Structure formats: structure tokens, C-alpha cells
Chains A and B, each alone.
Chain A
């Protein structure tokens, strides 16, 4: 068949897919409403930042020095200090879950400070270890400034806080790329990955399976149509939906969550499109294999969306997971795109990384599409 036959059939099939997509309202709900919900849910609902952590102050040493020391906590936006008359009350509050931490200034604080060996006690509620670690860092940070002043004034050693004695060496911390260590900054770029995965794999996984279930393929097969034309025609309309969702994600990132976009927009869009094609192809492959809508959607969820959440480095740092799981995560296209998109948003155009990730994604797209085309043989047995 001639090239014009190919173009004519592809156009006809694409028109058909587009009409079907637009007329089936559930497609639009999943395709447009669900991504918006995800953006809002993950953007606002999922945050590892601690704000207004309740720190109970127990001042056993009534000296002004001790008071100045802990007053620094009040200036922190992350902490909400409150006073407790004695350790007994403070412990009761901790047990009742009404406080996240207790900072105790012992009775001999001033005396020991003068001797250059002052200690403060920080007791953390470790039920949520992430929060506990954050509070510890904030408290240390808040104490560092008055401690430094105190040390300067005394010309001696600053007091050690908690058990992590800093001695006379002051650690000056600086976080790069995500200066405020805001978790939305690293979660929102990841959202692009989740949304592209959802649109791609989940929506398209139903498409070929639905045609098998409704018996429409049997009629379609006995025409001059080629299997690859059926596959490509299904990619087009959902690619457009994915592109719209990408715009949502980028707008939300820039204006709603004020995440910096340091890499070039063109590269971000191009890389996202590439990943979208990978994801769409994966969905179609699942669909062609299962020939059953229910199985296809479950398989899509299990092999694309859940791994994209759990194993791609969206939330958890992949270097901290066991070796075998790390190996599996490297097999996921989502992992490579996750790394790339985070770099692009926060660090800027890192060309070696861009080329590496894009090459991997292109390979995935080609392999998945070719596999789908092969599996879509025009055969019923």
C-alpha cells in the first residue's frame, strides 16, 4: 500500500480515537481532572516540612543568660515554643502528644557555661522520625546564633546542644539548589512524572483491551489497516491530553508552588514529551497483551504508576534502598526521567545528564512501540 494510503488510514483512525475520547466522559475525568487533583493533593497535602513544631521549654536555670539562649527559638518560623513550669508537666505533655519536643535548660547551665562546658537537653517525640529529625535541626539552628553570640561575648566555647556537641567549631551550613530545603521544591517536579505516567499508562492501557472486549478489532482487522496504524492512532489524542496536563503541571509549579525553573523550558518540555511517549507506549503494550480492560488497568497501575511513586526517587532517595530494589528502579523509565526533571527544575541544564536520560527514554519508546506493533498481529489465535 502506498504512503498516501497509510496517511489516509492513520488520519481516519486518529479522528475515530479522538471522537471516542471526547465522547467518553470518564476519559476526560481521568485525563484532565485527576491530574489537577494530583497536583493539588501532592503539592499541598504531601510535605515533609515542619512548621510551628511545638517545643516545650523547661527553664530550670532562671538566669538571664539561660533565658536569652532559648529565646532565639521564638524567632524561628518552624518552631512554636511554649513554656512549662517544670519537667514533670513537660513530660506529661509529651506523653499526651501535646508537644513535639522538650528543650530543658538545666539548673547548672549558667555555671557550666562560664566553665565552657554548658549542656542543654533536647527530648524529641520520635514517633515520626522525619519530623523529629527536622525539629532537631531547627532547634540546633535556632540555638546556634545566640550560642555563638554568647561565645563571642564570653570569648570561650559555645555551649553544646543536646548530645551533638559542636565543640568550639561552628558548622556553617548551606543547602544548594533548594536553599530553604522546601519539600515542595523537590516534590512538584516529580509530579510531572506521576501525571505523565498516569495519563500514559493508565488511560491507554484500556484502549486496545476495550476493542478486544467489544469485538471491534475483528471487523477492523479485515481491512487494509496495518497494526502499527492502529497503535499510532491511539497515541495521538492521548499525547495531546498529556501535553495539556504538562502545561498544568508547569503552571502549577511556577505560580502555585513557586518552584524555580532553572533549566530551559524547551528542554523540560521536550524531555517530558519523550517520557510521555514512553508511558503511552507502555500502556498500549499492556493493553495489547492482556486484551482485558480490568486486567490492563490493574497491570498498568502495578507496573507503572505505583513504581513511579515508590521506586523512581519521587519521595525516597534511591541510594538508601537495598541493592536489588535499586537495580529494579534503574530499569524503570520513570527513574531516569525523575532524575532528569529534578535536575532541570532546580539545578539547570546539565547536558551530559540530559543526553544520557533522553537516550535511555528514546530507547524505551522505540522498544515498547515495536513490541506493541508486533503483539498487535491481526490474528485471533
Chain B
């Protein structure tokens, strides 16, 4: 493969932007890399690694400060239009025209790319078939679900076969089924047309499909190679620890991840804990940390290598340099769990149900968003609500928070009926919205003060809560909220939701767009809260995160398809991992529905 022609050559490229504190921040810092033609290439890295900046420079939308960038043999900075005539680019948020229909969006891009009429019908038929959008050609793009929009965006960039396809995080916020469909389309075009593709992604399973992977962090290239070669870096360090004595996997995981001098990474997986040990970690100390949990070696994969590289770079840099706001959304909270509260009960279920849902229904006109749903959530439990885009998760969520009245059914939160005591119930819950819903122009402290006031906290108790929260979440009170990195914004949002010490915390897709290290830190906080007796209800598109939950519910088209512990769900779907279990359950549900309708 080394003889393959080069499609992108990056030589010592640097690009800086104005930083939040007046100085310059290098988004891309002296990167050199070569991308071969005719294959899939992945750029992986956490939030702020420089992936988007690099892709934008390759597309001629940004000009590098120094260094050179050659795309298809053309110097992009000198002649961006020549490159733009030949490549296709899908930005993170593809610019579909919401008020144009699916077909009109496709036509527009076909016209702009000068696709001859004769070729169009065949191409459109194929794209619409692959994206499963053929039924919706007359629908305005703005009325499509998130996953469908993303597929249409991809179709628009593929109206003709480009000489190079750039995809910037095409699967952020997209459910596993749509994600699988998107990749099937890309893969098919690579196979059939020898398409050259560069894709940036936060999903390691996506990077594993690529021929070549570049791992970036904080503007620097950490490593490159085939997924296999990269995974080898973690050889001999990867193990599975099995909790004993009925201990939840996440409790063991919490203990392990709190020992960063021995453990690089630990995540709950299939009832066990997947971990990477530090190369220098002594066996005796490790055994002491594991206590009686048996350790078995497991094959290393790309994610292990990725986590290892990230931790190494963070370790090397975390000490002096980074300014508070530019700091990685990582370590502090992971290393130092939030102050544990005086816990009424640490065992989930011991406190009895705090959320009772019976025959919950919500209709919008003729459309049933949520159909007859029943479940309980016990005190101190972490309850995950999963489902494809448009499954009714958000609607269920809003009803539970008292933001949307139910059409029918019984709803009890913290012992209060939401029909009769909505305001009172709201005082007992905290809500963290999917989008950053705090005031970006205010500082961290100003936001906390404002929301604390809104929750009815005053004077000394407000000041005490703010001080405790700032400390608990390692937040800089003077930082401007809007300028925080994504992981810190998420942390601030959660801190705000917890100011009034609610019994129940609702989190709507809290980890979308956050890098793996920040996600570990985030879940560590969540598990600590649950140990402290707070009940957590969470939605997510990262199926592996379902492993942190005590129980999960899978919803699709408003119906509850499955409810149980992650282990139950995997067993029910006869799947080894959560992602395939989820896809299997949703597809079975859809097949049943279609059979019922026929």
C-alpha cells in the first residue's frame, strides 16, 4: 500500500486562533502527515485536538499560518477554488437548506457540482436508496430527524464521485442505526469507486474500519498507523477484571479509575471492567487495588492505544503549562471524586421507587410520541433511556421533568404527583439540557449565582453551595462560561443542576460532543453522585455508556422495547456488546411493527 499515490500532503502546518485570554492558541501545531489515495483515513482525537481545523484547511476554508498543504497535488492556500472544484466536504453541521425539500437540496448540489442530467437519475436513485430517503423526497429538510439530516448531508456531498471526500465527525449526535447506515454508504463508495476519504471521528469503532489512523491531541500528531499497528502499543497491558460478591461493575471501575498511578483506563463492559494497567504498575500494588477481583488478559484494541496515548500526553503536560480554560476537559474530577454526600442508602433500590411511571402517553395531534409506557426508578439508581433519533426519549424526559404535560397516565416524581404538584416536584429535581443552556457571557460564578437564586437559594446558603460546587467540580469561578471547552461546559451545566441538592438529576445526552477523557471524568462524577443517594436518569447515544447504568430502557417509535439491567438486555439480544444489542432490539421491534401493520 505504500506505493499508493498521495492525496493530501501536510507539511509543518500551524494554525493559531485568538485565545480566550488574549493570547494565541495553536489549534494545529506543526503537523506533518501524508494521506494515501483510494482508502479510508481517520483523524481521531478529543475535543479541541485540531481535527476540524485541519479538515477546513484541506478544504481551503482556512489558511495555515505556516507550512504547506497540498491536496490532489494542488497548493490549497494558493488556489483553493481548484481544490474546491474537485473535492466534497461535509462539515460537522452540514448546511442543508431547511425550507428546501430533500430533492431540492440534492438538485442544488448536483447543479453546483455540474453533474450532467444524464448521470443524475441513476446517482440520485442510488443515493436515495442507500440513505433510505426515497420515501421522503418531498419533505422539507428541516422536518427530518437528526439521523436523516446527516444522511441527506452525506448524499448532497456525494452527488458526484469526488476526487477526495472530507467528513468532519459525521456521526456526532447520531443514533447507532443511522451511524451504521452512514458508514455502510461510505464503505460501499470506497469499495466501488476507489473513493479517497478522510473522516474525523470520536468513535474508535469507526476509526477501526479505516486503513490509516492519525491520532491528534491539542493540535499535535501523537501517532499514526494502521489500527492494528496502533493497537499493538497497548499489548500486554489490557485486562478484564471481574467483580465478585455481587458488586456492581461500575463500583469496581470507580475504584480502579481513581488510581491513575496504576491504571490508565477502566470502563465497565459486559458486567466486567475493561482496564489498561500502567506499564510500570507493580503487580503487588495492582493486586491490592483489585482485592479479590480476578484479572484475565484480553486482546488490545485501538481504543486502548488511544486512551494510553492521551493519558501519556496529559501526564506530560498537565503539571505547569495549561491555562485554566484551555486545560483538557479531563483529569481533575476523575482523579478526585466529588465529595461524597452523607448517603441514606448506597444500594440502589433500597430507598424504594422515586419515579413511578404508569401507562404514560403523549400525543401531538394524531402523532403518538410516547405510547403507554410504564417503569419505576429506585432511589440512587442510574437509569438510562436509550433509543434512536425520534424514538420519544426527549418527550418522555420532558414529561418526567414536568416541562411537558402528559396526555394520559400516572407520573410520580420524588413522591409527588406531577399533575397536582408540578412546581413542588421541580424543586426536587435537577435538569441538564442537551444544549449548553447557561449564559455564555457570564462567568462560571455568575451563572451559578443566578441559577442558585432561581432555585430559591439565598445569602449564606447560596454562597456555601457555590463554594462547595466550585470545589467539587474543579471549576474556575472567573472563567467566561461561553469560552470553556466542551467538557468543562458540561461540568458547569451539571454543577448548576446540582446546586439545590436535588434528589433526582436528569441528564439529556450529556456526553454528545465530549472527548473520551472528559466522558470518563463525567461518569465518575455520576457514579459518585449515585453512591451518595442521588437518582440519575440519563439519555445517551454512546451505547457503551449504558454499561454504567443500573438499568436501561430502550425506546423506539414511542414504545418501550426492552427494560432491564445491561446484562439482561445483552442476554435478551444475544449480543456481546451493548451497541449490537441495541441495534438488534430496535430492528426486531421495527420488524414486529411492520409485520403487525401488514
Contact = CB atoms under 8 A, between A and B. Distances in A.
B411 to A, nearest CB: 36
B111 A220 contact: no
Given A221-B84, A224-B112, A216 B97 contact: yes
Interface in A208-245: 211, 214-226
B60 A220 contact: no
A224 B61 CA distance: 13
A381 interface: yes
Given A378-B61, A379-B62, A379-B63, A223 B99 contact: no
A214 B104 contact: no
B114 A16 contact: no
A16 B104 contact: yes
A221 B89 CA distance: 9
A20 B104 CA distance: 11
A24 interface: yes
B104 A219 contact: no
Contact of B84 (A9, A16, A378): A378
A11 B111 contact: yes
A8 interface: yes
B11 interface: no
Contact of A20 (B56, B97, B157): B97
A16 B87 contact: no
Contacts, number: 91
Given A16-B100, A220-B112, A223-B112, A381 B84 contact: no
B104 A220 contact: no
A222 B99 contact: no
B60 A222 contact: yes
A224 B85 contact: yes
B291 interface: no
A12 B84 contact: no
A380 B61 contact: yes
A1 interface: yes
Chain B binding surface SS class: mixed
Nearest to B168: A218
A379 B94 contact: no
A23 interface: yes
B14 interface: no
A251 to B, nearest CB: 31
Contacts of B139: none
Contacts of A126: none
B59 interface: yes
Contacts of B90: 219
B95 A219 contact: yes
Contacts of A215: 91, 93-95
B88 A222 contact: yes
B576 interface: no
Contact of A1 (B56, B61, B85, B87): B85
For chain A, the bracket of interface size reads 20 to 34
B109 interface: yes
Contacts of B107: 12
Nearest to B159: A223
A381 B95 contact: no
B96 interface: yes
A381 B100 contact: no
A380 B56 contact: yes
A51 interface: no
Q: Most chain-B Cβ atoms within 10 A of its Cβ — which of A5, A8, A218, A224?
A: A218
A67 interface: no
Contacts of A356: none
A222 B95 contact: no
Interface string B60-100: 11110000000000000000110011011111011111111
What range describes how many residues of B lie at the interface?
Answer: 35 or more
B249 to A, nearest CB: 40
Interface string B572-587: 0000000000000000
Contact of B112 (A12, A23, A214, A216): A12
A377 to B, nearest CB: 9
Contacts of A378: 60-61, 80-81, 84
Nearest to A218: B91
Contacts of A223: 84, 109, 112-113
Contact of B61 (A12, A221, A225): A221
Contacts of B153: 219
A24 B109 CA distance: 21
Interface in B156-178: 156-157, 166
Contact of B95 (A13, A15, A24, A216): A216
Given A216-B97, A381-B63, A224 B91 contact: no
Interface in B301-317: none
A20 B61 contact: no
B108 interface: yes
A8 B63 CA distance: 29
Given A1-B85, A218-B91, A219-B91, A19 B99 contact: yes
A12 B108 contact: yes
28 contacts: A8-B111, A9-B111, A9-B112, A12-B107, A12-B112, A13-B112, A16-B104, A16-B108, A19-B100, A20-B99, A20-B100, A216-B97, A218-B93, A219-B90, A219-B94, A219-B96, A219-B157, A221-B61, A222-B60, A222-B87, A224-B81, A224-B114, A225-B112, A378-B60, A379-B61, A380-B61, A381-B17, A381-B63
Interface of A: 1, 5, 8-9, 11-13, 15-16, 19-20, 23-24, 211, 214-226, 378-381
Given A219-B157, A220-B112, A381-B17, 17 more contacts: A8-B114, A15-B108, A19-B104, A214-B95, A214-B98, A215-B91, A215-B93, A215-B94, A215-B95, A217-B95, A218-B91, A219-B153, A222-B89, A222-B166, A224-B112, A378-B61, A381-B62
Top 5 closest A-B pairs, CB basis? A216-B95, A12-B111, A219-B95, A222-B89, A223-B112
